[in-house]
Amino acid sequence: MNDRFSMEGRVAVITGGGTGIGRASALVLAERGADIVLAGRRVEPLKSTQSEIEALGRRAIAVPTDVTAAEQCQAVVDATLAEFGRLDVLLNNAGGGATKPLMKWTDEEWHQVLDLNLSSAWYLSRAAAKPMIEQGKGAIVNISSGASLLAMPQAPVYGAAKAGLNNLTGSMAAAWTRKGLRVNCIACGAVRTPGLEADAQRQGFDIDMIGQTNASGRIAEPDEIGYGVLFFASDASSYCSGQTLYMHGGPGPAGI
């Protein structure tokens, strides 16, 4: 039987690939045969994930990248083509943001969070789309957040950026699906990542309590989101484009 989840012979670029969802997704795709390009600002986590991928018998390179800079996003794509000769999957995973009352946000912080969560996907997707369209096939997966679908007074900029990413997913799918390039999005609920754990420590709350609000009664582990990425990156989702999948453990008692 043809394995539609196989990633054999494919190359994936993953931003924020050193930790959390990016690292987990890189390992999930590598386990199924993909070679991986890891992009992010911090070299040490990228190198650590690279070693894990190579231990699985797959090739990997780490490309230090500031995804808020358009020229560095293009450089990641160029490095991928130089090393592997092709690009099949782009995972726009890099992101993040602070939490504080709406009126305490500065204009500079507004632009920083928008650039990290939205502009980065714009820069990388357009750069990656060119070789994907030329080869007639490709998949872009964007990592969004439940904050894009809810009112988040403590995270208004992050929520706005991720809502923009959901919409951009649909627009890119409408432009590129007929050319062989599918674009989809995953809006995550709370995930056990270093970023969430650090935020919880700063604010003095237990991250596991967040999970009590959904039907599963827990937060997600990074590899659970990684399997959603595998679905959208592989031929298992060949008839799916322009979609935002909300992975949040199921509606809680309030129906959210």
Classify the phi-psi angles of 197: left when phi > 0, otherwise alpha if psi is within -120 to 50, otherwise beta: alpha
pTM, whole model, 2 decimals? 0.95
pLDDT digits over 68-98, tens only?
Answer: 999 999 999 999 999 999 999 999 999 998 8
3-state secondary structure of 208: helix
Give CA 197 to chain center in angstroms: 18
Q: Where are the domains of the chain?
A: 11-247
Query: Active-site residue numbers?
Result: 158
pLDDT of 135 reads: 96
Residue 240: pLDDT above 70?
yes
Residue 202: pLDDT above 50?
yes
Average pLDDT, the chain: 94
3-state secondary structure of 13: strand
Span of 72-86, 102-116, 169-183, 193-207 with lowest mean pLDDT: 193-207
Closest CA to 9 of 58, 52, 76, 72: 58
- At 37, list the tokens: 């390009």
3-state secondary structure of 61: strand
- Dihedrals phi, psi of 198, to nearest 5 degrees: -65, -40
Rounded Cα–Cα distance for residues 32 and 45 (Å): 22
Span of 25-29, 106-110, 212-216 with lowest mean pLDDT: 212-216
Report how many helices (DSSP H) and strands (DSSP E) the chain contains, helices first: 9, 7
- At 249, list the tokens: 């453990």
Give CA 84 to chain center in angstroms: 21
Rounded Cα–Cα distance for residues 92 and 134 (Å): 20
- Dihedrals phi, psi of 59, to nearest 5 degrees: -85, 150
pLDDT digits over 19-72, tens only?
Answer: 999 999 999 999 999 999 999 999 999 999 999 999 999 999 999 999 999 999
Residue 165: pLDDT above 70?
yes
Residue 127: pLDDT above 80?
yes
Classify the phi-psi angles of 227: left when phi > 0, otherwise alpha if psi is within -120 to 50, otherwise beta: alpha
pLDDT of 253 reads: 77
Closest CA to 199 of 113, 104, 96, 68: 96
Closest CA to 141 of 157, 161, 121: 121
Cα distances (Å, whole numbers) of residue 232 to 5, 9, 67, 237, 241: 9, 16, 22, 5, 9
Residue 199: pLDDT above 80?
no
pLDDT of 1 reads: 47
Q: Which of the four pLDDT bands, split at 50, 70 and 90, describes residue 256?
A: low
Domain 11-247: state its class. Answer: alpha beta
Comparison of pLDDT for 143 and 206, the residue scoring more: 143
pLDDT of 196 reads: 75
